[in-house]
Amino acid sequence: MALDYLLLKKIHLHCVGLSVALFALRLGLRLAAPERLAAWKVLRVLPHGVDTLLLSTAIAMVVVGGIDLLQSPWLLAKIGALGLYIVLGSVALKRATTRTGQAAAGLAALATVGWIVATAVGKQPWLP
């Protein structure tokens, strides 16, 4: 079981890196060359696959590790911040119509994901 958990954590971490890199790439293209973002279908499909795997491994770790969410404030904070990251990401990549709005929402989304990583590493709901 410990091995399963460690394997899930490894996959989770690789998905985190890929997810953030793909988001940053899409944000950069949206700001600098939106026509390319629209043309590269892989950039619309791949992030969904990676994010689904990221969430699946997260849920699997909670189940396999027998983690009680109510006893883990850092995980509850993470889930809340994940919701914020999704909303900000969708504003940056889809809803915002001005470049200023896209850039502001994109930077806020990257700051949010940075905060999620900090709470995950420190296992505390606030910045360590």
Give contact residues for ligand HEM (rule: CB under 6 A).
Answer: 9, 12-13, 16, 58-59, 61-62, 67, 75, 78-79, 82, 85, 113, 116-117, 120-121
CB-CB neighbours of 61 under 10 Å: 19
CB of 97 to ligand HEM, least distance (A): 26
CB of 33 to ligand HEM, least distance (A): 25
With the C-alpha atoms ordered 12, 14, 20, 22, is the resulting torsion angle positive or negative? Answer: negative
Rounded distance, CA 88 to CA 96, Å?
A: 10
Query: Residue 33 or 107: which CB sits closer to ligand HEM?
Result: 107
What is the gyration radius of the CA atoms in the chain, in angstroms?
16
CB of 35 to ligand HEM, least distance (A): 28
Paired tokens of 47: 């992030």
Cα 74 to its chain centre, rounded Å, is: 16
Query: Residue 13 or 104: which CB sits closer to ligand HEM?
Result: 13
Rounded distance, CA 31 to CA 103, Å?
A: 7
Of the candidates 45, 28, 42, 40, the residue with the CA atom closest to the CA atom of residue 92: 28
Query: Residue 31 or 82: which CB sits closer to ligand HEM?
Result: 82
Query: Residue 38 or 118: which CB sits closer to ligand HEM?
Result: 118
Query: Which residue sits closest to ligand HEM, CB atoms considered?
Result: 58
CB of 46 to ligand HEM, least distance (A): 16
